[in-house]
Amino acid sequence: MSEQQHQARKRFGQNFLSDPNIIRKIIDAIRPEPGERLVEIGPGLGAMTEPLMARLDHLHVVEIDRDLIARLKEKHSPEVLTIHEGDALKFDFGSLVADGAPLRVAGNLPYNISTPILFHLASFAERVKDMTFMLQKEVVMRMVAEPGTEEYGRLSVMLQYRFNMGRLFDVPPGAFRPAPKVMSSIVRMVPRPVAECTATDEDLLGRIVTAAFGQRRKTLRNTLRDYMDETDFAALGIDPGLRGEKLDVATFVRIANHVAARGE
């Protein structure tokens, strides 16, 4: 099947990278090395797949589109490419970790489900060396946003709790076929050491962060009323008149640990 014959499917959020200079820049940013175990999410028409394979002994890919899977099988042997057929949102990335060597993850993530995929991947952070993704620029700006900015929110806090992240460079719409209506960015995510992730109950942390940003115009006194009262805010030295966007990640962790220690 030729590239011209494959029509991008909206339900899979497909926009295929086609600019060779951008592709080269992304591969150089990933820096794949022989002997490493790397998985690409959404290989599509192979724009990044083949350059990655050129630098690796073996590559794993996760793909949901049956036509693209057939195309990959036709072009590449199982000796150099392992294709995991199915939804990346349901895939067990931990199953690819072998011999204690950490997994590397890369890909052009479908924009329509990028946030759920990021949260799914975060659950495997302890077994991952790094992740390099292309995402909608707006999403990347939210991922790396600092407290007090308009972009800072739940996604910022929960990903920054688990990863050190950096926006590398932007990718214009013209680098894709079909061209999306938005700018894209490349982001690198490196899991933080487990010792630095100090929330005693990460599920509770997630619930508190979700509540704090659920109604952005309201103060912490209102958004966290199910978790904290005036005495709690005073004990932590936090102004209950602030909004969630003013708190850094460490402060959210302090709140969650305080609530967990209180046994609620």
pLDDT tens digits, 124-138:
999 999 999 999 999
Q: Would you put residue 46 in left (φ > 0), alpha (ψ -120 to 50) or beta? A: left
- What per-residue confidence (pLDDT) applies to 6? 45
Q: Distance (Å, rounded) from C-alpha 69 to C-alpha 148?
A: 44
What is the reported pTM?
0.90
Which residue is it, tokens 């013209």?
Answer: 174
- What per-residue confidence (pLDDT) applies to 219? 97
* Chain center to CA of 188: 9
pLDDT tens digits, 89-118:
999 999 999 777 889 999 998 888 899 999
E strands in the chain: 16-17, 37-41, 59-63, 81-85, 103-108, 128-136, 163-171, 176-177, 184-191
- What per-residue confidence (pLDDT) applies to 264? 57
Which residue is it, tokens 């990655």?
Answer: 52
In this predicted structure, the answer to whether residue 237 has a pLDDT above a threshold of 70 is: yes
Tokens read off for 253:
């962790």
The rounded mean pLDDT for the chain is: 92
Tokens read off for 201:
């109950």
Q: Distance (Å, rounded) from C-alpha 192 to C-alpha 48?
A: 27
- What per-residue confidence (pLDDT) applies to 76? 95
- Burial class for 99, CB neighbours closer than 10 Å (0-12, 13-18, 19+): exposed
The pLDDT of 161-171, averaged and rounded, is: 98
Tokens read off for 161:
């709790």
Q: Distance (Å, rounded) from C-alpha 193 to C-alpha 220?
A: 29
pLDDT tens digits, 139-158:
999 999 999 999 999 999 99
- What per-residue confidence (pLDDT) applies to 179? 84
Closest CA to 133 of 184, 175, 199: 184
Confidence of residue 14 (pLDDT cuts 50, 70, 90): low
Q: Distance (Å, rounded) from C-alpha 61 to C-alpha 96?
A: 11
When mean pLDDT is compared across 49-53, 92-96, 244-248, 260-264, the lowest value belongs to 260-264
Q: Distance (Å, rounded) from C-alpha 70 to C-alpha 161?
A: 39
